[in-house]
Amino acid sequence: MANFTFNVALGRETEFHNRVDNNDPANSALILMVLSAATIESDSTLKDYDTFAAILAISLEVTNAGYARKTLTDADIGPYTVDDSTNSITLPLANQTFAAIVAGNSWSKLVIGYDSDTTGGTDANIVPVVAQDLFIDGVATVPNGNNIIVAFPLGYCVAS
């Protein structure tokens, strides 16, 4: 298990982020989805998928009470930053709080995707961009009724 960029998004992470940040198109958004530890395919298999729908054909999204996907629009994210000393671009993301998540599924992986049109979009239209392990001390996060805060102190993606 590790963090990775989906093949379909290689080289496009920054532009997807920039699209949402600039509200262009107006209804674009980043979508945060959590995959369950109960049924999840390997990283090497997951990264081949081009849509959320393809991911969920086998792997399962968590169903804990209190959970809902997060939809982040231009108001929710900041611009990417260019670091000329490290020759890289960082995509920032504020801490994301999933409030009062009741026990049930263990949380294995967070998938951040790009939806160009949240008004008409379906899972078949959401492009997965990056996936990250939701591990605490090396194991999948076990919800216990409290808030789960996902922190991105170094950003959610660094392109170089």
Of these, 113, 121, 128, 143, which contacts another protein (CB under 8 A)? 143
Per-residue burial over 70-93, b = 16 or more CB atoms within 10 Å of its CB, e = otherwise:
bebebeebeebeeeeeeeebbbbb
Binding residue count for another protein, defined by CB under 8 A: 34
Measured from the CB atom, the residue of 36 and 141 that comes closer to another protein is 141
Of these, 44, 85, 87, 160, which contacts another protein (CB under 8 A)? 160
- 145, with CB counted inside 10 A (0-12, 13-18, 19+), is exposed
Measured from the CB atom, the residue of 84 and 137 that comes closer to another protein is 137
CB of 36 to another protein, least distance (A): 15
Q: How far apart are CA 98 and CA 92, in angstroms?
A: 18
Closest by CA to 132, choosing from 115, 160, 157, is 157
Q: With beta carbons less than 8 A apart as the criterion, state whether 106 and 61 touch.
A: no
Amino acid at the residue 129: V
Q: For residues 40-99, which are near another protein according to CB under 8 A?
A: 90-91, 97
Contact flags string 2-41 toward another protein, x per CB under 8 A: -xxx-------x----------------------------
CB of 131 to another protein, least distance (A): 7
For another protein, the binding residues (CB under 8 A) are 3-5, 13, 90-91, 97, 107, 110, 130-132, 134-136, 141, 143-160
